[in-house]
Amino acid sequence: MRKITRRTALTMAAGTVTASTVINAATAAADAPAPGRPVASGANPVLRTALITRVTPRNNWRVTTVAIRYANPIDTRGGVIPPSAFQVTAALGGQSAARTVTRVYPNTVARADDLPKAGRPGRYLIIELDPDDTNGQASGTDPLPLHRAYTVRQVADVTAPDGEPVLATGPLAIQNDDVITPVVDDFTAGSFTDSTGFQLAFRLYEPEGFVRNPGAATQYPLVVTLHGGGEVADNNMTQLTANRVAVTFAKPERQRRHPAFVLAPQIPLPRPMDGPDGTDWTDPKVQAALVELIDTFTTQRPVNADRLYLVGLSSGARGIFNLLPRRPHTFAAALATAGWGDPSTLGKITHIPIWADHSIDDPVVPYREGRFGNPGTWTLMNALENAGTQITRGEWANDLSKADFEARSRSLLNRARRVGGHVLFTSYTPGTTPVNPHFAWAQTYENDVVIDWLFDQSR
């Protein structure tokens, strides 16, 4: 990745995003069905094959779809393509194993369709894969080398209901040329070198309104996302793909409701450590660079300085509880999940709106005890309360449906509003956080009630 100084780190991103938008529009136009072309000869050359990956709330980054682009449109005339007609094999880490094909259908774009009757006649064949396959991951500690890692073989003819051939089998298998990760691909990559020479990589999402008209007077909120300790790396990717802390703020439906800049820095290796609790975002070098990056960014982009938001999980939440007392008049609000911190400093932030959450049975960052001698969220909320802050508390299961989860959140928020409270604390009942009790954040950023509350806050 090309290194740029703090004065120029943020000046090129808007043009990059704009170019990407133009390319995507041109591609979509090229893929529109052409009138008069034959669609059912059985012979239809493959032009390109892409993997489509997805950042999931709990299973991290997965390969979920193969999209094959053909020369001519595919029309099954209402017929259904059986999943058994295609075999997909993933070769990762020196091992090759089959993926489970769940649905196959044509489409006009390289995108999976969530509707029960998926797709429409078009040049793309969409092959959906079971996201829970053990070899469905797209990354380990670092992103996996996915280009040409997947092989697709058609093993049965595809025909229309009247028996006319649509896609004929052939002797050749195909491999993927591209990897598409929706939303993640909309983040530009850059690096920031602070005044001491310390460098932070970052990914940046810029709202469409700014990209279309960078000179407009509109100001946007800024969401700064602080990743967890597992994403400390030099790849400038896994802070986006290991969980949905940044991606969920950039997804189209969220941006339509809350257009905002989303800044996702990544702490480099070797892992900065300065004392037993100088981990990650509390490391002096890292935190100084982070603050300088935020300050620089707010002067380089039309950011509403009264609407800066901090969002973080695990050691990212530790960073929030450490940074807020040091900059008590910078941020309008914060979301902190599964964090820990120093209770003696929290008297400085009694005025800042915070929504914190934590699994009661978290084994990695214990709910009460925290880590490295600094207590967890439960104890921090007690300290804030002792400092004079009204805390509105709720407890429920972390495996509720989205509707039920949001209903509980809305009820908690209504209680807070009735008493004039601006700090909320959600605890998750033991045994209800899927995968690992530490992963309490899976529903946090998908929760529209919580996100609406965040964007309602102003300094």
**What are the residue boundaries of the structural domains of the chain, listed by start?**
36-180, 184-456
3-class state of residue 3 by DSSP: coil
Q: 274: phi > 0 → left, psi -120 to 50 → alpha, else beta; which?
A: beta
Confidence category of residue 141, pLDDT binned at 50, 70, 90: confident
Span 411-446, pLDDT tens digits? 999 999 999 999 999 999 999 999 999 999 999 999
At 11 the pLDDT is 37
Span 292-309, pLDDT tens digits? 999 999 999 999 999 999
Give the mean model confidence (pLDDT) for residues 2-19. 34
Span 37-51, pLDDT tens digits? 444 446 899 999 999
C-beta separation of 168 from 231 below 8 A:
no
Same fold, 36-180 and 184-456: no
Give the mean model confidence (pLDDT) for residues 270-276. 71
The residue assigned the tokens 């941006």 is 255
CA dist., res. 319 & res. 287, Å (int): 8
C-beta separation of 197 from 113 below 8 A:
no
At 22 the pLDDT is 29
- Top pLDDT among 147 and 26 is at 147
CA dist., res. 91 & res. 176, Å (int): 11
Q: Strand pairing of 423-428 and 391-396?
A: parallel
Q: Which residue type does 136 have? A: G
CA dist., res. 329 & res. 280, Å (int): 23
At 273 the pLDDT is 63
Give the phi and the psi of residue 222 in degrees, each rounded to 5: -125, 125
| Number of Cα atoms under 13 Å in the Cβ half of residue 337 | 24
CA dist., res. 51 & res. 62, Å (int): 10
- Look at residue 194 and tell me whether its pLDDT is greater than 80: yes
CA distances from 268 to 8, 53, 189, 239, 264 (A): 20, 25, 14, 11, 13
> Euclidean distance between the first and final Cα of the chain, in Å?
35
Query: How many CB atoms sit inside 10 A of residue 76's CB?
Result: 20
C-beta separation of 313 from 294 below 8 A:
no
List the one residue out of 250, 225, 20, 55 whose CA is nearest residue 139: 55
The answer regarding whether domain 36-180 maps to CATH 2.60.40.2180 reads yes
Q: Range with the lowest mean pLDDT among 75-79, 115-119, 227-231, 364-368? A: 115-119
What's domain 184-456's superfamily in CATH?
Alpha/Beta hydrolase fold, catalytic domain (3.40.50.1820)
At 271 the pLDDT is 79
- Look at residue 8 and tell me whether its pLDDT is greater than 80: no
At 40 the pLDDT is 46
In the DSSP assignment, the letter for residue 267 is: P
Percent of the chain with pLDDT over 70: 90
| Burial class for 7, CB neighbours closer than 10 Å (0-12, 13-18, 19+) | exposed
At 275 the pLDDT is 63
The residue assigned the tokens 């034959």 is 38
Query: How many CB atoms sit inside 10 A of residue 220's CB?
Result: 18
The dihedral formed by the CA atoms of 405, 322, 222 and 419, expressed in degrees to the nearest 10: 50
